[in-house]
Structure 1
Amino acid sequence: MEIKDQVVLVTGAGRGLGAEIAKAFGREGARVIVNYHQSEKKAKEVAQNIGDRAIAIQADITDKEQVQAMFDEAEKHFGQAVTTVINNALIHFKFDAVNRKHAKVIDWEDYETQLKGSVKAALHTTQAACEGMARLNFGRIINIGTNLVQNPVVPYHDYNTGKAALIGFTRSMARELGTDGITVNMVSGGLLQKTDASASTPDEVFDLIRDNTPLNRVTTPEELADATLFFASPWSRAVTGQNLVVDGGLVMD
């Protein structure tokens, strides 16, 4: 299915990377659901930027009933089931290496928060999407990960663990859902310059990344957003269960 024929849900699309992913799909002609939890004004601005092919819908993605209601509303609005899900939303986390919780003080509740934001949320959207995708014999689920799983240069214990679990989720779902024409993949970025989540990161860290990256620059949200298009496009039709690291070559996995 061409991207222009898809109905694409992007979670956490009111700002940062999610907003850029939503706009990238809108640019390619897709119909886009701009999901948000609290950033209503920004989400509606993203939808307006895309045009009449987009709608902003509020839902807490850790709440299964709210996720199902969002899918029902989207299908009613567009007259077609959701074909493509981008699990992007980031729950209660900022990339602040200075003030991060260290190993001796981090709480299990911190892990739970990130596991809910990564795996529980992806489970809800996948379960809500797979019936409609199976009817179409087409589905694309794209999970957003991090290169910190491969190279935890900053040990964000809770965040890194949540994203590592999401890789396992991605591969297990790819194995089961493939017979319904559904692919499940992951796009993993590094520190992006800049989003709300990375705003607390000192410039010196960005300089260090730039100096150690083969492309000699820091990846932008727009560049990572473009990479997600590949997994939704017909060009990726034989690819599932994969993790594409998009960080300018900083991590070569």
Structure 2
Amino acid sequence: MKIADQIVLVTGGARGVGAASVRAFAQEGARVVINWRNSGDAANALAAEIGERAIAIQAGVADRASVDALVAQAQTHFGGAITTVVNNALDYSFNGDARAQMTDISWDDLAAQFSTVVRGALNVIQATAPGMAAGRFGRVVNIGTNLFQNPVVPYHDYTAAKAALLSLTRTAAGDLGPDGITVNMVSGGLLRTTDASAATPDAVFDLIAGMTPLRSVTTPQEFADAVLFFASPWSRAVTGQNLVVDGGLVRD
């Protein structure tokens, strides 16, 4: 299915990577559902910017009933099933100096990340998979991190949740593949700049840029290009994969 024919749900779609992904899909002609929890003004402004092919809907992805209501509203609005999901919702601030250390991080810190990242993705996949299966087409793109391979800053809670999401990506690919649904992950490093990375000092951005072959820090717009790939016809035989998009910082 061409991107222009897809109905795309982007969780956490009002800011950062989510907003960049929304714009990228909209530019290709897709209809886009902008999910938000706390960023209503930004979500509604983005929907107004795009026009009739976008709708902003509030829902906390960790709550299954809210996700079911989101999906039902989106499908009624656009008159068809959601075909494509970008699981991007996140509640985190990247500040290495302020992060919780291994000696004092609490389970509650990890549980909070697992709730949004893993439970949220599970809820969204389960709520949209029946519609995808009925149409024999579905694309799920989970947003990960290159900190699996290169934990330059040990964000224990965030990285653990994203590692679990990678495992869910691969097991879901096996279960959903027979229904024509692919499940993949796009993993970035520090992006310049999102709300989540706004607390990061410029010196850190410069250090990372100097370590990449491209001598630059990836932007949300560049990252969104890779998200589009996994929704496009060119990736139709690709599933269960993790693509690192970080300017070549991680190469294994």
Q: If the length of structure 2 is used for normalisation, what is the TM-score?
A: 0.99
How far apart, in 1, do the equivalents of 2:121 and 2:149 lie?
Answer: 21
- The one-letter amino acid of 1:208's match is L
Shift of 1:18: 0.6
> Displacement, 1:112?
0.4
| 1:159-192 Cα distance to aligned partner (Å, 9 max, x none) | 0000000000000000010000000000001100
The residue type paired with residue 53 of structure 1 is: R
Aligned-residue offset at 1:150? 1.2
Following TM superposition, by how much is the alpha carbon of 1:14 offset from its aligned partner in structure 2, in angstroms?
A: 1.1
Report what 1:85 is aligned to. Answer: 85
Q: Does 1:63 align with 2:63?
A: yes
What are the residue-to-residue correspondences of 1:28-39 with 2, within 5 Å?
28-39=28-39
The equivalent of 1:209 in structure 2 is 208
Runs of 4+ in 1 over 4 A off after TM superposition: none
* Aligned twin of 1:42: 42
User: In percent, how many aligned pairs have the same letter?
Assistant: 60
Equivalent residue number for residue 243 of structure 2: 244
Q: Which amino acid in 2 is paired with 1:51? A: G
Task: Give deviations 1:198-233, integer Å, cap 9, x for gaps.
Answer: 011011100110110000101000000111000000
Q: Write the letter of the residue equivalent to 2:9.
A: L
Q: TM-score, normalised by structure 1?
A: 0.99
Report matched runs for 1:1-253 at 5 Å. 1-91=1-91, 93-253=92-252
What CA distance in whole angstroms lies between the structure 1 residues aligned with 2:204 and 2:118?
28
Displacement of 1:48 in angstroms is 1.3
Aligned length: 252
Aligned partners of 2:117 and 2:90: how far apart in 1? 8
Partner Cα separation in structure 1 for residue 70 and residue 100 of structure 2:
34
C-alpha distance in structure 2 between counterparts of 1:48 and 1:23, whole Å = 12
Q: SS of 1:57's equivalent?
A: strand
Distance 2:199 2:145 in 1: 17
- Alpha-carbon RMSD across the aligned residues, in angstroms, is 0.5
Instruction: Give, in angstroms, the shift of residue 34 of structure 1.
Output: 0.4
1:49 is paired with a residue whose SS is helix
| Whole-angstrom distance in 2 between the partners of 1:131 and 1:196 | 33
